[in-house]
Structure formats: C-alpha cells, structure tokens
Amino acid sequence: MRSDVRVVVARYNEDVAWLEQTGLDYVVYDKGPDPVADARILPNIGREAHTYLTHIVREWDSLAPHTAFVQGDPFDHLDPDRATGPQDLAAMIIRCAERGVPFRGFAWFKLKCDGLGRPHDLNKPENEGRWAGWGKDIPVERVFRELFNAEPPAHYVARAPAGLFCVSAARVRTRPRAMYEHALRLIEDDPHDAENTGHAFERLWQLIFNGNTLWNKDTYA
C-alpha cells in the first residue's frame, strides 16, 4: 500500500465499501447512526468541512504527503470522462501525488459566486427543509475575512465544489495550524449550519490551499 497518499472520507450513511477497491490507505470519519467498522466517530455537525478540518488539526504532525478529501459517495460529482469508479478516482489521486500537484479539485464542474454565495439554490421552494440554512445566503465573504488578512475578491470560483479534492501536506502547512483551529471553531459555533458557515467552506477550499502566506494572520481569535 502506498505511503504517500491517504483518503479521508466524510461519511453519514453511505456505502463506503468502494474504498477497498482503491488500494489506498484511508480513514473514515463517521457521523451516521450506523457507523462502519474502524471508523472515527464525530458528531453530526458542520457538513464535510467539519470532518476535513478535524482531520487536519488532529493529524497535523502526521499528515500524508498527499491527502484526498472526499464525501462518502463522491462518484456522481466526478467527471464521467475521467473517473467513473473507485479505481479511476484512485488513479486521479495517485497522479496528484506522483506529479507533486499541491491542490486539485475532483468535481466535473466549478462554481462561481459572490461574497454571499450567490447564485445558490438555498432559497428555492423545492429545497425547503433540506438544509437548516435554507432561505439564507452563504457567508463566503464573512468566513474569508475570518481566515485571511486580505481583501476579499468580488467573485469566487470554487474549484472543489462538493468537497472533493486532493491537497499536499506542504500546501496545507503554508497556513498555520491556528488558522485551521479557528476555522473549526467557526463551524462548531454553527453546528447545524443554520447560518451556512460550513457551506461557505465549499466555496473557499481553493483559497485556503492557494499557498499565499501573505494572507496569513498573526493571530486567530
């Protein structure tokens, strides 16, 4: 088994048997009512961002050279021309490691939005009740200001929608551990994502991992 990559899975109730087909080292963080064997149990809060940030903070000194962060069932969001199953996903992850790619999103699409996450579908009548933050905007700019010492852009291009991406440990560590701890507190303060805090991270992963150390704050309250 490769030692240079690890797959981190945010599971609720999905069938994650596909992980064995990747041939890669993996860890499952489980928030569901029926956790799988050997999973690390977390409270069901904060969407997948809570899972990913928890892993980074807890494993800071032992991160794999490349970590792929994925949801329990990632395949509907992958490019059908390049990745249709577990082995295809594994090949994408391995390419990132072998080519030294610092960050790559795996979804077949990208999202463009403003500082309120617009356009979004959190106010569509047919989606009422699907999310605690239904009917509200996504606080992309607010979270940006919490994380970075920089002026927020007018528009954001989310290159890792659906929370599917691979990032190198070196790129993770271009930000201080304190930033990730602060990010985790932001999510824990909105545990049911009623204000869409966790949702905002989906629009910000590419900036969190862009390697621009000039954006780092001296301290994180």
Distance CA 193, CA 160 (A): 19
Q: What is the pLDDT of residues 90-117, one digit of tens each?
A: 999 999 999 999 999 999 999 999 999 9
Q: What does the mean pLDDT of the chain come to?
A: 96
Give just the sign of the alpha carbon dihedral 2, 168, 110, 208. Answer: positive
Q: Residue 79 has what pLDDT?
A: 76
Which domains are delineated in the chain? Answer: 5-210 (3.90.550)
**Closest Cα to residue 111, out of 73, 152, 77?**
77
Cα 92 off chain centre by: 17
Q: Which two tokens stand for residue 160?
A: 């890792």
Is 36 buried (19+), middle (13-18) or exposed (0-12) by CB count in 10 A? middle
CA 168, 84, 35 angle in degrees (round to 5)? 70
Cβ atoms of residues 49 and 201 within 8 Å: yes
Mean pLDDT by 10 residues, the chain (221 residues): 95 97 98 96 97 98 98 90 84 96 95 97 90 96 98 97 96 98 98 97 98 97 82
